[in-house]
């Protein structure tokens, strides 16, 4: 066989590198992949929750220093929990800022809403302060709740950008896996107003 030219050898190497990069999950390349509205790891995961399933209960610290339990709102309020990959990253900042600036649209519907990540409580406290967020940002650094919701696959990963709308009966009404970070609060309010009677 004739020896490869320099150009042919370089092309083969570039193809090999490209194949490796394509095989990596998005979160391995950028923890806040999806900043333009695409969720990290939108594909199905093992044991993934679905609409109609009972939402896993949680007990997590909020950025306001309080502890929140999903069960406390059962029979009282629709609950939104918006998981995001990493505090202070560009896409996550825009998403949480949307909830901070436009969250009144949810509050007017009587909806209790949280953002949540696997960051440490102190990090999310500073993040909430930087945004002027009046709503709690929940912290799940050991990822137990994140695993229950299927937004991570192991105890080291970043959370997928998935948002869960949970009914008063504790069942999942909606899962948004294609979050538009710029308009998330308005999008959620519009969906709830249209699809959830007697909020």
- Candidates 168, 97, 153, 151; CA nearest to 128 is 97
- Asked if residues 64 and 73 have their Cβ atoms less than 8 Å apart, the reply is no
Can you list the positions of beta strands (E) in the chain?
59-61, 67-69, 79-83, 112-117, 137-139, 163-166, 172-176
Sign of CA dihedral 180, 111, 107, 199: positive
Query: Pick the catalytic residue: 32, 92, 96, 118?
Result: 92
CA distances from 79 to 29, 104, 117, 120 (A): 32, 14, 16, 22
The pair of three-digit structure tokens given for residue 69, joined into one six-digit string: 């339990």
How far, in Å, CA of 117 to CA of 141, rounded? 8
Q: What angle do CA 49, 167, 156 make, to 5 degrees?
A: 35
Q: Is 30 a catalytic residue?
A: no
**Catalytic sites, residue numbers:** 92
């Amino acid at each position: 066989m004739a020896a490869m030219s320099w150009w042919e050898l370089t092309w083969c190497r570039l193809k090999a590198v490209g194949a490796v990069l394509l095989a990596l999950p998005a979160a391995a390349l950028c923890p806040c992949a999806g900043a333009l509205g695409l969720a990290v790891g939108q594909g199905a995961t093992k044991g993934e929750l679905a609409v109609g399933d009972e939402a896993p209960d949680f007990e997590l610290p909020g950025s306001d220093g309080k502890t929140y339990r999903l069960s406390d709102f059962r029979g009282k309020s629709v609950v939104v929990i918006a998981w995001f990959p990493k505090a202070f990253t560009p896409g996550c900042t825009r998403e949480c800022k949307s909830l901070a600036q436009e969250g009144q649209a949810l509050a007017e519907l009587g909806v209790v809403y949280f953002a949540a990540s696997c960051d440490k409580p102190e990090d999310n406290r500073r993040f909430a302060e930087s945004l002027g967020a009046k709503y709690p940002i929940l912290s799940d650094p050991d990822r137990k709740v994140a695993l229950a919701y299927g937004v991570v696959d192991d105890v080291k990963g970043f959370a997928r950008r998935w948002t869960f709308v949970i009914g008063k009966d504790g069942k999942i009404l909606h899962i948004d896996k294609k979050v538009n970070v710029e308009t998330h609060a308005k999008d959620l309010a519009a969906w709830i107003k249209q699809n959830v009677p007697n909020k």
